[in-house]
Amino acid sequence: MLQQLKTTYTQDISLFANRNAVISYAVLILALLLVPAVLGEFYVGELGGVFIFAIAGVGLMLLTGYTGLVNLGQAAFLGIGAYTNAVLMTKGVPFIFTLPLAGLVSALFGVLLAIPTMRMTGFYLAIATLAFGSIIGTVFQKWTSVTGGFDGFAVPTPSIFGFPIEGTNGVYYLSLLVLIFVIWLAINILRSPVGRAMVAIRDSEISAQSMGINLSLYKTISFATSSGITGLAGALFAHYVRFLAPDSFDILLSIQFVTIIFVGGLGSLHGAIFGAMFVRLLPQFIAIVRDDLPFGIGRMPGLEPSLFGLVLVLVILFEPLGMHGRWLKIKAWLKDFPLHRRSGIRRQKTYARSERLR
Amino acid sequence: MSLFAARDIAIQFGGIKAVDAVTFDVKQGEVFSIIGPNGAGKTTIFNLISRIYNLTSGELIFNGKNVTKVPPHEIAALGIARTFQNIELFSQATLLQNLLIGRHCHVKTNLLSQFAFLPPARDAELAHREKVEDVISFLDLQRYRNTLIANLPYGVRKVVELGRALCIEPKLLLLDEPSSGLNVEETEAMAFWIDDIKKDLGITVIMVEHDMKLVSAVSDRVMALNYGRVIALGSPGEVQTHPEVVRAYIGGEA
């Protein structure tokens, strides 16, 4: 396979792998900027949703994909971000402040969750985060003086320096901007000592500790950044749905986030984006083909969640590297054509490890 | 002058005294080996020194400082590095990333500058990379630099673990069975490296090892343990012929 010849150490820590990468990402961003001019409002709206879920996916990817900590309550952080943003805006705080505040408040709650779950891994952590998610969900329902309970409330239109961010296009561009910022942040984290400490904790806690990594500190940092990023997604989500009601942030949403990172591919940022595309676009695809399916399958209740579950199981069984892994394989196959051999590709990753010396 | 000293250290798991009243000194610049039959408490001593276990009683002195109560993640910054018997590398990361994690205790840049990857963070990364490259050349690992650990053969992983410990730039290096699972040739290479580490880098080594050939080749002094107690301490030759040691390994009349 053709490999790029590196001549400086800087090349290993630069934002883009090479000039081709710079060009292709520039083209991609340009294309995304032009989307609202070309496609109809429906598609722009759907893509905006993909961006918001991709932001949350990147957040969860840092925690689960890179630090190896499961979180089944991620929807709670999206909710905290959404309510912080929307409630502060109804109190008259400008959007330019409420957006970062939404991230900060979510990050604080991430720290709150990290403290009691510090020594938990695997199933225990999964159950604890699940409980956290449902507690926060209940708070959204019962704290009617702030959240409006089940009645919900309409989210005000945001504006930045007097320019209102209106309609589908506004949310689309705003989400794209935040997504680019979040990806930049995640790349920085991953090429810094913090990111390496996360990977170390994921792969071996005991030797991470012997390398001088403070486990509690870095797990807390991981929780905080993950939930903070998800909080940003939540703030955008509030404007995306325009009307906040507590039942948006239930366990099913958390499962969707987990699906994003597993189907997309654990341990890669591309995976978070691919996964978000899958999770947001599958329901739309179902909606389009619903009436054409035989035997009335399309009208069966619970078709969507069961399809998500099925895909999740199939991916874990047959493609542990997820869509990103499949993409790498396709790329390798095209590169080596017609001389491809199967063994040229790295094998499965296993993050679920048995308990060992700790 | 002794770099490290264990004073009467003991640990008890329930009714079992895994390590019982063990006292030893390690001099600056020597290779000190710990031998003993399975379950003698050798690795437990390492886990006590790296503070993974808490001592039931006794004291650990390193570089004139009492380290008995230091938290485990601060041991590396003091200058004590270790390897593990069953290899505890970060298997889904590349060799380069693994060695860079070894530099963690030397990270000085603050979180904010890392999150934004500001010039100080970038410069620090490049400086760490230089140090890591030194270790890579020292151990001849260049061709595996960007390989995932999971895809490396066992013998190479053993060397990577040694390299990761060297990236800490330790004063004291704890090697837990460096030759286990290695073939004859790889064990010989390991003996050369341990010798180089001692002579060229001036690092003091404590080693747990079963391969007596390796022990005799590199050690200055040897301590033999059985049932958590010291049964002999001296030069490799003295310890190997010590009647208690012979009895512990081969058995004999009680």
Residue B180 has pLDDT above 50, yes or no: yes
DSSP string, A73-130: -HHHHHHHHHHHHHHHHHTT--HHHHHHHHHHHHHHHHHHHHHHHTT--HHHHHHHHH
**Cα distance between residue B102 and residue B163, in whole Å:** 8
The tokens of A283 are what? Answer: 């329901």
Instruction: Give the pLDDT of residue A297.
Output: 72
Residue A91, φ and ψ in degrees, nearest 5: -80, 0
Instruction: Give the pLDDT of residue A352.
Output: 39
The ipTM (two decimal places) reads 0.90
End-to-end CA distance of chain B: 38
Question: Which member of A209, A221, A346 has the closest CB to residue B73?
Answer: A209
Q: Answer positive or negative: Cα dihedral of A175, A180, A186, A188.
A: negative
The residue behind tokens 């400082």 is B65
A327–chain B nearest CA distance, Å: 19
CB B127 within 8 A of CB B106: no
Question: Which member of A9, A189, A207 has the closest CB to residue B84?
Answer: A207
Give the A:B interface size as CB pairs under 8 Å: 115
Q: Which of A49-63, A289-303, B156-170 has the lowest mean pLDDT?
A: A289-303
Chain A environment of B82 (Cβ under 8 Å): 210
- What's the mean per-residue pLDDT of chain B? 91
Of all residues in chain A, the percent with pLDDT exceeding 70 is 93
Which residues on chain A place their C-beta less than 8 Å from a C-beta of chain B? Answer: 9-10, 12-13, 185, 188-189, 191-194, 196-197, 199-200, 202-204, 206-215, 221, 267, 346-347, 349, 351, 357
CB A125 within 8 A of CB A70: yes
Of all residues in chain A, the percent with pLDDT exceeding 90 is 53
Are β-strands B16-27 and B2-13 bridged in parallel, bridged antiparallel, or unpaired? antiparallel
Residue A356 has pLDDT above 70, yes or no: no
Residue A349 has pLDDT above 60, yes or no: no
Instruction: Please state at what angle helix A193-203 crosses helix B95-102, rounded to 10 degrees.
Output: 110
Question: Which member of B91, B101, B129 has the closest CB to residue A9?
Answer: B129
Q: Which of B80, B86, B92 is the best mutation test for A, with the most CBs of A within 10 A?
A: B92
Residue B173, φ and ψ in degrees, nearest 5: -115, 125
Q: Which residues contact A283 (CB under 8 A, 6 or more apart)?
A: A304
Answer yes or no: do B100 and A196 touch at CB < 8 A: yes
Minimum Cα–Cα distance from A10: chain B residue: B126
- What's the mean per-residue pLDDT of chain A? 87
Q: Using CB atoms within 10 Å of the CB of residue A51, give its burial: 0 to 12 exposed, 13 to 18 middle, 19+ buried.
A: buried
CB A48 within 8 A of CB A172: yes
Mean pLDDT to the nearest integer, A134-148: 90
Tell me whether B227 touches chain A (CB under 8 Å): no
Answer yes or no: do B90 and A200 touch at CB < 8 A: yes
Tell me whether B94 touches chain A (CB under 8 Å): no
A33–chain B nearest CA distance, Å: 25
Residue B17 host element (H or E): strand B16-27
CB B77 within 8 A of CB B161: no
Residue A112 has pLDDT above 90, yes or no: yes
Cα torsion for A199, A205, A206, A212, to the nearest 10°?
Answer: 60
Bridge partner residues of B60 (DSSP): B6
Q: Which fold has domain A9-357?
A: ABC transporter involved in vitamin B12 uptake, BtuC (1.10.3470)
Are β-strands B80-82 and B172-176 bridged in parallel, bridged antiparallel, or unpaired? parallel
Split at pLDDT 50, 70, 90, the class of A1 is very low
Answer yes or no: do A267 and B92 touch at CB < 8 A: yes
Residue A339 has pLDDT above 80, yes or no: no
Residue A342 has pLDDT above 70, yes or no: no
Question: Which member of A188, A202, A215 has the closest CB to residue B116?
Answer: A188
The tokens of A29 are what? Answer: 């961003």
Mean pLDDT to the nearest integer, A104-121: 93
Residue A355 has pLDDT above 70, yes or no: no
Tell me whether B97 touches chain A (CB under 8 Å): yes
Question: Which member of A194, A206, A346 has the closest CB to residue B151?
Answer: A346
3-state secondary structure B74-110: HHHHHCEEECCCCCCCCCCCEHHHHHHHHCHHHCCCC
**Cα distance between residue A263 and residue A315, in whole Å:** 6
Split at pLDDT 50, 70, 90, the class of A9 is confident
Answer yes or no: do B89 and A207 touch at CB < 8 A: yes
Chain A environment of B104 (Cβ under 8 Å): 193, 196-197, 200, 211-213
Residue A77 has pLDDT above 90, yes or no: yes
Q: Using CB atoms within 10 Å of the CB of residue A92, give its burial: 0 to 12 exposed, 13 to 18 middle, 19+ buried.
A: exposed
Mean pLDDT to the nearest integer, A13-21: 84
Q: Rg of chain A's alpha carbons, rounded to an integer?
A: 21
CB B139 within 8 A of CB B163: yes
Instruction: Please state at what angle helix A269-289 crosses helix A322-336, rounded to 10 degrees.
Output: 100
Helix (H, G, I), strand (E, B) or coil at A268: coil
Chain B environment of A324 (Cβ under 8 Å): none
Instruction: Give the pLDDT of residue A2.
Output: 52
Helix (H, G, I), strand (E, B) or coil at A13: helix
CB A253 within 8 A of CB A80: no
Tell me whether B90 touches chain A (CB under 8 Å): yes
Instruction: Give the pLDDT of residue A344.
Output: 53
Q: Among residues A300, A311, A245, A303, which one has the least CA distance to residue A278?
A: A311
- Convert the pLDDT of each residue in A218-263 to its tens digit: 999 999 999 999 999 999 999 999 889 888 898 889 999 999 999 9
Q: Rg of chain B's alpha carbons, rounded to an integer?
A: 19
Of residues A117 and B251, more confidently modeled: A117
**Cα distance between residue A174 and residue A172, in whole Å:** 6
The tokens of A202 are what? Answer: 């994921």
DSSP string, B178-230: TTTT--HHHHHHHHHHHHHHHHTS--EEEEE-S-HHHHHHH-SEEEEEETTEE
Amino acid identity for residue A340 in this structure:
H
Residue B62, φ and ψ in degrees, nearest 5: -125, 125
Of residues A54 and A14, more confidently modeled: A54
Instruction: Give the pLDDT of residue A353.
Output: 44
Answer yes or no: do A194 and B111 touch at CB < 8 A: yes
A8–chain B nearest CA distance, Å: 10
Minimum Cα–Cα distance from B148: chain A residue: A346
Instruction: Give the pLDDT of residue A184.
Output: 95
Instruction: Give the pLDDT of residue A113.
Output: 94
Q: Answer positive or negative: Cα dihedral of A22, A28, A30, A32.
A: negative
CB B101 within 8 A of CB A198: no
- Convert the pLDDT of each residue in A153-205 to its tens digit: 888 888 888 788 888 888 999 999 999 999 999 999 999 999 999 999 999 99
- Convert the pLDDT of each residue in B87-98 to its tens digit: 899 988 999 999
Answer yes or no: do A203 and B93 touch at CB < 8 A: yes
DSSP string, B134-173: HHHHHTT-GGGTTSBGGGS-HHHHHHHHHHHHHHT--SEE
Residue spans per domain, chain A: 9-357
Tell me whether B140 touches chain A (CB under 8 Å): no
A171–chain B nearest CA distance, Å: 25
**What are the C-alpha distances in Å from A16 to residues A184, A191, A326, B194?**
11, 12, 22, 39
Instruction: Give the pLDDT of residue A346.
Output: 53
**Cα distance between residue A278 and residue A269, in whole Å:** 15
| A68 torsion bin: left (phi>0), alpha (psi -120 to 50), beta (else) | left
- Convert the pLDDT of each residue in B45-57 to its tens digit: 999 999 999 999 9
**Cα distance between residue A19 and residue A31, in whole Å:** 18
